[in-house]
Amino acid sequence: MCGIVGYVGKEKAKTRIIDGLKRLEYRGYDSAGIALATGEGIEVRKRVGGIEKLEEIITDAGFDGEMGIGHTRWATHGAPSDINAHPHLNEKGDIAVVHNGIIENYLELREWLADEKNITFRSETDSEVIAHLIGACYEGDIYEAVRKATKKMRGAYAICVMAAAEPDKLIAVRKDAPLVVGCGDGCNFVASDIPALLPYTKEVYLLENNETVVLTPDDVCIYDDGGNRVTRDVFHVTWDVDAAEKEGYEHFMLKEIHEQPKGLWETLTRRLDENGDIKLDGISMTGEDIRNFDKIYIVACGTAYHAGLVGKYIIEKYAGITVEVDIASEFRYRYPLVDERTLFIAISQSGETTDTLEALREAKRKGARVLSVVNVVGSSVARESDDVFYTWAGPEIAVASTKAYTTQLMCMYLLGLYMGKQTGVLEEKKYREIIEELKTIPDMLTEILEKENDIKGIARRFYRREKVFFIGRGTDSAVSYEGSLKLKEISYINSFAIAAGELKHGTIALVEPGVLFIAMCTQDRLYEKMVSNVQEIIARSGEIFAVAKEGGEEIKKHADNTFYIPRCSDDVAPILSVVPLQLFAYYVSVMRGNDADKPRNLAKSVTVE
């Protein structure tokens, strides 16, 4: 979850590292630090708080060098503090390390280092162990020392290491945590994610698991687990730096909400051929494979899991194949019935979520065919899948996922339609109609965004509420889960989602004055039932903010506020109805004085279990 950056070259390292860290702050932001090879050894500055806090203590021009490493932390072992912040040094202070991940056997290693090597630990972190371990293995060659030390480490890690005695050599290792190398002119970089590199280079190497890279100003050497030199093609990044900037929006989240029409159009049209048919270019799954599947598992976490809930409705309805949707951290530890006739669909924006990745590996071991729906090209989930269906959302920086979700939904429709055609469950006419309707989604979404101020007004009315329930039926219940997650993660309001029909089985006991219900009423076939559920809440003095389709006049008579989305079929409504919920969560968060992009306790990419 943490962000790491390393630079070695002929220019000043400090600004480049800080610049990179700012672009990785979405990965973790409770403390930050930097170590530089200053010519007189290694000097470390680190501080609890965001990068701006770190910047306050590194202003002196004398603190600089041509090689350095930086870190932005999401705490796992030890609270956020100056001492626990990275980089960590070995006992002599001549080796510095930054780490993303968890060292599972750190207690054992810590004990060994304390007993056998007389090491005194300064922090409570697992990461400090790495610095001492490398120090204990160091005999003048930092690459060899890192190789020896990593052989003793268990867990997930991306590390970047430097030694004072070798001031033009950075070593980085990747094991179950992301790491990319950026190739500059007379300089090289290493970082947890591509946005950190974009101002300086678009030429990158994507490292594989268990690879070690040695970077000097003019060279990049990649080695496999056995120490053999590996050749790797350069990957050319196609986004430009603006894609990872706010471009005048107050927050990345707001910018990303507004980027949805574009992302949806890209995701759709890249999968349509000149006859308007869905094409699965680059995907090896055949029609026969699809007809042979007797079960589909969709497995994901958080928002991506909510996209899977809609995917279930769509694929079961269009393709007639049973779909189970599971939370990745649960799937891994139960006994799912997976075999060669199972299609396992992993959904992940980052493609690095540990729970999803491990669930995928488990399904693969059991013989399932794996298709992933991923936003980050070349990510671990993408690389370990048999086939990848990319979302074309562009980089998503805000912790709260928005455009990744709607583009994941678009992929669910496209997959459902394609499979429905192959299984013969979906009639040609219906198939064509839905594709035509999907083409209108970006414009309908733009219409919703044009009414942003209405949502802002509704947020102003309700932002002080402390209890909020989201209710809906059918796909509206899936969207309710997403709306509730969005609200709670950035506003810290106690919010909860439930299928509207379930209310009367217990939760209705919680209705009282001051409790807000956000009622999703976009499913024509279930509309009247929703109106009844809303009346039951009003009868118990609850407040209602309803989301309905244009023309749904009845609900307006009962709700305190109603927001209308354009008229569309029930099937595609989720892709539109979530947008007012995203905007509502965003404005409530801002009105409550929170940082919508960096909610407390969270990080964008969850690479721990």
Give yes or no for residue 194 binding ligand M6R (CB under 6 A): no
Contact call for residue 382 and ligand M6R (CB under 6 A): no
Active-site option among 312, 421, 598, 604: 604
Looking at 397-405, 466-474, 548-556, 587-595, which segment touches ligand M6R (CB under 6 A)?
A: 397-405
User: Nearer to ligand M6R by C-beta: 475 or 589?
Assistant: 589
Task: Check binding of 348 to ligand M6R (CB under 6 A).
Answer: yes
Of positions 75, 194, 397, 399, contacts ligand M6R by CB under 6 A: 399
CA–CA separation, 182 and 69 (whole Å): 14
Minimum distance from CB of 72 to ligand M6R (Å)?
Answer: 17
Strand partners, 606: none
CA distances from 290 to 137, 361, 366, 432, 543 (A): 52, 21, 18, 20, 46
Q: Give every CB contact of residue 131 below 8 A, 6+ residues apart in sequence.
A: 87, 88, 89, 90, 95, 96, 97
Q: Which of residues 302-321 bind ligand M6R (CB under 6 A)?
A: 302-304
In the complex with ligand M6R, the residue whose CB is nearer, 533 or 605, is: 605
Q: Which of 188, 201, 354, 356 binds ligand M6R (CB under 6 A)?
A: 356
Member of 123, 125, 401, 407 binding ligand M6R (CB under 6 A): 401
183 assigned to active site: no
Longest dimension (CA), the chain: 78
Residue number of the CB atom closest to ligand M6R: 302
Near ligand M6R by CB under 6 A, which window of 395-403, 410-418, 419-427, 544-552? 395-403
Q: Which stretch binds ligand M6R (CB under 6 A): 99-107, 346-354, 384-392, 504-512?
A: 346-354
Q: Is the peptide bond before 87 cis (omega within 30 degrees of 0)?
A: yes
Which part of the chain contacts ligand M6R (CB under 6 A), choosing from 250-258, 277-285, 301-309, 468-476?
301-309
Q: What is the 3-state secondary structure (H, E, C) of 449-468?
A: HHCHHHHHHHHHHHCCCCEE
Piece of the chain touching ligand M6R by CB under 6 A; list 246-254, 343-351, 530-538, 561-569: 343-351
Query: Which DSSP category does 278 fall into?
Result: B
CA distance 489 to 301: 14
CB of 405 to ligand M6R, least distance (A): 8
Contacting residue, 301, 325, 338, 426, with ligand M6R by CB under 6 A: 301
With binding defined as CB under 6 A, does residue 606 bind ligand M6R?
Answer: yes
- In angstroms, the CA 414 to CA 572 distance is 11
Distance CA 226, CA 218 (A): 24
Distance CA 408, CA 74 (A): 26
CB of 477 to ligand M6R, least distance (A): 18
Q: How far apart are CA 589 and CA 572, in angstroms?
A: 28
Least distance to ligand M6R, CB of residue 360, Å? 11
604 is catalytic: yes
Place of tokens 């947020």: 459
| Closest separation in Å from C-beta 290 to ligand M6R | 25
Residues 460-519 that bind ligand M6R (CB under 6 A): 485, 489
| Nearest distance in Å: CB 399, ligand M6R | 5
Member of 72, 353, 484, 562 binding ligand M6R (CB under 6 A): 353
Instruction: Number of residues interacting with ligand M6R: please give it, by CB under 6 A.
Output: 16
Of 187 and 485, the one with the shorter C-beta distance to ligand M6R is 485
| Residues whose CB is less than 8 angstroms from the CB of residue 212 and which lie 6 or more positions away in sequence, other chains included | 143, 146, 147, 150, 171, 172, 173, 222, 223
Q: Which is nearer to ligand M6R, 400 or 573 (CB)?
A: 400
How far is CA 450 from each of CA 3, 246, 318, rounded to the nearest angstrom? 36, 19, 32
Q: Are 346 and 319 spatial neighbours (Cβ–Cβ below 8 Å)? A: no
State which residue, 347 or 434, has the beta carbon closest to ligand M6R. 347
Strand order in the sheet with 88-89: 88-89, 95-103, 155-163, 170-175, 211-216, 219-223, 229-230
Query: Judged by CB, which is closer to ligand M6R: 146, or 399?
Result: 399
Per DSSP, the three-state class of 204 is strand
DSSP-derived 3-state class of residue 54: helix
Stretch that binds ligand M6R, among 58-66, 226-234, 269-277, 399-407 (CB under 6 A): 399-407
Half-sphere exposure in the Cβ direction for 533 (13 Å, CA): 28
Among 2, 137, 187, 411, the active-site one is 2
Contact positions toward ligand M6R, by CB under 6 A?
301-304, 348-350, 353, 356, 399-401, 485, 489, 605-606
Active site residues: 2, 604
